[in-house]
């Protein structure tokens, strides 16, 4: 009877430009420390695609931080920015191709730094699987949504081509 399913690893082992627009409208679920489950619809994401993407952390190659992006899709890539905010990303594509989707917003928590704070997740989640429904996972509840797109946020430093490309996807 249940109208919900949990995308398996194959959902994430696709090009980031196919995975990213499929995420708004799905639900980010998290078992909080008190045992309750937080469920929020994903509202906004961005795609970061390969070493050629000058706004992607992997543009400077494989390092300790970006190593996870080179692994098979479905892993979590966490990183700290400005010394204060943990960013939640989902690795996509097959092994050897560095891609990830940044989760920028969920219902009620608009902003990548705000949602990780609400969910209580940090660098200790680096490398965990998003398709295993234990601590944190994504559910498809059959919601049909309309997706808008725009340039990515906060990458003014990048070359114009990469700065302006419309790889941000959000709920209309």
- Of residues 128 through 157, those in contact with DNA by CB under 7 A are 152-155, 157
Q: How far is the CB of 134 from DNA (least distance, A)?
A: 23
Q: Which is nearer to DNA, 5 or 150 (CB)?
A: 150
Of 2, 33, 35, 82, which lies in the binding site for DNA, with binding defined by CB under 7 A?
82
Q: Which is nearer to DNA, 29 or 55 (CB)?
A: 55
Q: How far is the CB of 21 from DNA (least distance, A)?
A: 16
Helix/strand/coil percentages in the chain, nearest 5: 20, 35, 45
Distance, first Cα to last Cα, the chain: 29
Question: How many degrees, rounded to 5, is the angle at CA 43 between CA 40 and CA 45?
Answer: 120
| Max Cα–Cα distance, the chain, nearest Å | 50
Does position 63 interact with DNA (CB under 7 A)? The reply is: yes
Phi, psi of 105 (to 5 degrees): -160, 145
Residue indicated by tokens 């970061």? 48
Binding site for DNA (CB under 7 A): 46, 48, 55-58, 60-61, 63-66, 69, 77, 79-85, 87, 89, 100, 102, 111-114, 123, 152-155, 157
């Amino acid at each position: 009877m249940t109208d919900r399913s949990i995308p398996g690893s194959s959902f994430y082992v696709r090009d980031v430009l196919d995975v990213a627009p499929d995420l708004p409208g799905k639900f980010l679920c998290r078992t909080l420390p008190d045992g309750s489950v937080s469920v929020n619809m994903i509202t906004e994401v961005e795609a970061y695609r390969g070493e050629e993407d000058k706004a992607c952390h992997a543009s400077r190659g494989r390092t300790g931080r970006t190593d996870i992006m080179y692994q098979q899709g479905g892993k979590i890539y966490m990183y700290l920015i400005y010394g204060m905010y943990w960013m939640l990303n989902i690795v996509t594509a097959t092994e050897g191709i560095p891609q990830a989707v940044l989760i920028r917003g969920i219902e009620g928590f608009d902003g990548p730094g705000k949602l990780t704070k609400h969910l209580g997740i940090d660098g200790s989640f680096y490398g965990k699987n998003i398709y295993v429904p234990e601590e944190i996972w994504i559910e498809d509840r059959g919601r049909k949504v309309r997706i808008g797109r725009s340039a990515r946020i906060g990458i003014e430093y990048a070359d114009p081509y990469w700065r302006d490309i419309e790889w941000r996807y959000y709920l209309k």
